[in-house]
């Protein structure tokens, strides 16, 4: 349920009404009161609830929020104060237009890609074969890959190495399906999600509708925008030493949860709050990436991460190859890549 809520959160976060919408003192007070109630009831880390709400109460009493005249200004400040003690980057407000705020029963379901372009084709936006027979999959968001993944992995099934690009990916749904295509069909414990009232153990999926990508190197591209379940994808595989992560340290948001309605405005628009309702624990590291992000195995600037991973893949293939003709081919592609990099550096 959480992952569906999270997906909705990311989709609608770019479809908000104009944040210049004016806000009254009474609306601010009502929003704070509702926020306090929801935060108390649902936030997973109970020891952080009282100091956080005491801090917000003090900011209200000191008049911090008085000068804010728009929804954007006020909710940005309030979200910052929710994060003051928690350091929880998931805690945030989302202001939806009246059209988006309507119940789904009253309107047609809006395709995700029309709400957020990162979710075009459920987030898997490009497939390519790079020189040297290196597969490339670009994933802008973690959507529902049940129908897409089989075709994608069929497309790259005969390549010699694979690059999966999650730069700029803010997350979405749970990624155990996607992870499963890179693992054998034996039962593997990926992570544990501890909610307030129950625990979910997440495993790989053993029966897939497409070919697994095994016994070949896989590189995952990240940047500082890579967040939430996109980080979960990279983190789980990194801990199993199944992938090499290339790029920047990721954003550092691990806490699962969902959006909850906070306030409905007179014009029909609605304010929601994402609340972290659980904790994720990796069975290997015994922790997660909350607040720290994921350190790449090979650091690289985001703009050159793809070329770096491509080079690493070719170097790996060159070293393991025994056929002189094929080694020469790899060497030629590497030389061309190196030359392109030098040309960029002189510009």
Tens of pLDDT along 263-309?
Answer: 999 988 899 999 999 999 999 999 999 999 999 999 999 999 999 99
Q: Where are the beta strands (DSSP E) in 117-241?
A: 124-130, 134-139, 161-165, 189-195, 199-203, 218-222
Question: What is the gyration radius of the CA atoms in the chain, in angstroms?
Answer: 23
C-alpha–C-alpha distance, residues 23 and 204, integer Å? 47
Sign of the C-alpha dihedral computed for residues 248, 253, 259 and 263 taken in this order: negative
C-alpha–C-alpha distance, residues 104 and 109, integer Å? 6
- Residues shown for the chain: 347
pTM of this structure: 0.87
pLDDT for the residue 79 = 96
First and final C-alpha spacing in the chain: 50
Q: Return the SS3 of 2.
A: helix
C-alpha–C-alpha distance, residues 330 and 44, integer Å? 51
C-alpha–C-alpha distance, residues 165 and 169, integer Å? 9
pLDDT for the residue 16 = 41
What is the chain's pLDDT, residue by residue, as a tens digit (347 residues)?
A: 343 344 333 333 334 444 578 999 999 999 999 999 999 999 999 999 999 999 999 999 999 999 999 999 999 999 999 999 999 999 999 988 777 666 543 445 556 666 678 888 889 999 999 999 999 999 999 999 999 999 999 999 999 999 999 999 999 999 999 999 999 999 999 999 999 889 999 999 999 999 999 999 999 999 999 999 999 999 999 999 999 999 999 999 999 998 899 999 998 889 999 999 999 999 999 999 999 999 999 999 999 999 999 999 999 999 999 999 999 999 999 999 988 765 454 34
Whose CA is closest to 279, among 195, 197, 202?
A: 195
pLDDT for the residue 110 = 57
pLDDT for the residue 5 = 40
Q: Are 71 and 271 in contact (CB under 8 A)?
A: yes
pLDDT for the residue 318 = 97
Q: Note the helical H segments in the chain.
A: 2-12, 25-42, 49-61, 71-86, 98-101, 112-115, 149-155, 176-180, 229-239, 305-320, 324-346
Burial (Cβ within 10 Å: 0-12, 13-18, ≥19) of residue 233? buried
C-alpha–C-alpha distance, residues 225 and 53, integer Å? 28
Residue with token string 């084709």: 121
Q: Which two tokens stand for residue 134?
A: 């290196």
C-alpha–C-alpha distance, residues 93 and 72, integer Å? 9
Tens of pLDDT along 117-164?
Answer: 888 888 999 999 999 999 999 999 999 999 999 999 999 999 999 999
C-alpha–C-alpha distance, residues 161 and 177, integer Å? 20
Residue with token string 């199993």: 240
DSSP-assigned states of every residue in 262-285:
EEE-TTS-EEEEEEE-EEEE-TTT
Longest dimension (CA), the chain: 76
């Amino acid at each position: 349920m959480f992952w569906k809520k999270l997906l909705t959160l990311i989709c609608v976060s770019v479809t908000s009404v104009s944040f210049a919408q004016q806000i009254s003192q009474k609306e601010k007070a009502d929003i704070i009161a509702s926020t306090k109630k929801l935060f108390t009831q649902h936030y997973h880390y109970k020891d952080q609830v009282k100091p956080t709400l005491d801090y917000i109460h003090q900011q209200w009493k000191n008049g911090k929020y008085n000068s804010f005249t728009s929804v954007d200004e006020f909710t940005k400040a309030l979200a910052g104060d929710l994060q003051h003690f928690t350091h929880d980057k998931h805690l945030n407000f989302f202001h939806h237009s009246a059209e988006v705020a309507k119940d789904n029963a009253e309107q047609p379901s809006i395709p995700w890609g029309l709400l957020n372009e990162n979710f075009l084709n459920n987030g898997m936006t490009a497939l390519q074969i790079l020189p040297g027979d290196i597969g490339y999959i670009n994933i802008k968001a973690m959507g529902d890959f049940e129908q897409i993944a089989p075709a994608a992995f069929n497309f790259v099934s005969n390549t010699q190495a694979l690059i999966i690009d999650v730069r700029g990916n803010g997350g979405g749904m749970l990624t155990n399906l996607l992870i499963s295509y890179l693992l054998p069909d034996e039962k593997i414990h990926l992570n544990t999600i501890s909610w307030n009232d129950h625990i979910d153990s997440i495993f790989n999926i053993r029966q897939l509708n497409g070919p697994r990508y095994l016994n070949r190197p896989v590189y995952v591209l990240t940047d500082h925008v890579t967040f939430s379940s996109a980080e979960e994808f990279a983190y789980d595989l990194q801990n199993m030493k199944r992938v090499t992560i290339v790029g920047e340290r990721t954003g550092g948001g691990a806490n699962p949860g969902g959006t909850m309605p906070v306030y409905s405005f007179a014009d029909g628009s609605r304010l929601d709050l994402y609340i972290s309702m659980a904790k994720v624990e990796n069975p290997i590291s015994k922790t997660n990436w909350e607040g720290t992000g994921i350190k790449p195995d090979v650091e690289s600037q985001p703009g050159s991460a793809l070329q770096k991973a491509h080079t690493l893949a070719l170097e790996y293939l060159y070293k393991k190859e025994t056929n002189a003709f094929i080694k020469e081919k790899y060497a030629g592609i590497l030389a061309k890549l190196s030359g392109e990099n030098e040309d960029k550096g002189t510009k």
